[in-house]
Amino acid sequence: MIAHIQGRLVEKTPTEVIIECNGVGYHINISLHTYSLLPDSENLKLFTFLQIREDAHTLYGFVEKQERELFKLLLSVSGVGASIARTMLSSLAPQHIIQAIASNDIGTMQSMKGIGAKTAQRIILDLKEKVLKVYNLDEVSIVESNTNKDEALSALEVLGFVRKSAEKVIDKIIRDTPNASVEDLIKQALKNL
């Protein structure tokens, strides 16, 4: 219904902005990703999505069209509401979410607040085909050592390390040595944690 709003940025916080357009101030909810992309200039254009519910009409704004389209795709999944979709887009850049969906990366999906195993699986199941088609991806360059990464992460969790910090360390190790075995990943991670 409202495709975009262009006007003067009156107020901004990490979760919302107010844009004045022809004397009307529009309260627009945003993700942290959009917040990080907001320009310093006063004039602003946001692509919007209007959610109409029985109890509220809520505007969501995005600097990039791609983020808005991903938001709409996430809303199409049963059990994913606007607040969860916005939290996901605040946790990871849209490109990382698309990559995680396309490569069946349940671990990355679950690393986001509010996403459990079932929701992560449902998102991947419902959106994988759409994501591959919409973003012209060929079965995506899946990180080959995904199973190695998962096994190493599980082992580190058993050893008492926090998954998120362990995952960052392991991702760095995989970037440096893509063919590292599970044992190598764990050994190198233990040195860096």
- For residue 188 the two structure tokens come to 């190198």
Q: How confident is the model at residue 146 (pLDDT cuts 50, 70, 90)?
A: low
Mean pLDDT of the residues in the chain? 87
- What's the pLDDT at 99? 86
Q: How confident is the model at residue 141 (pLDDT cuts 50, 70, 90)?
A: very low
Taking alpha carbons only, the member of 118, 119, 121, 71 closest to residue 92 is 71
Taking alpha carbons only, the member of 64, 142, 134 closest to residue 99 is 142
Residue 16 · residue 28 · CB < 8 Å: yes
User: How many CA atoms lie less than 13 Å away from 48 in the CB half-sphere?
Assistant: 25
Residue 26 · residue 59 · CB < 8 Å: yes
pLDDT tens column, 70-112: 999 999 999 899 999 999 999 988 988 988 898 888 888 888 8
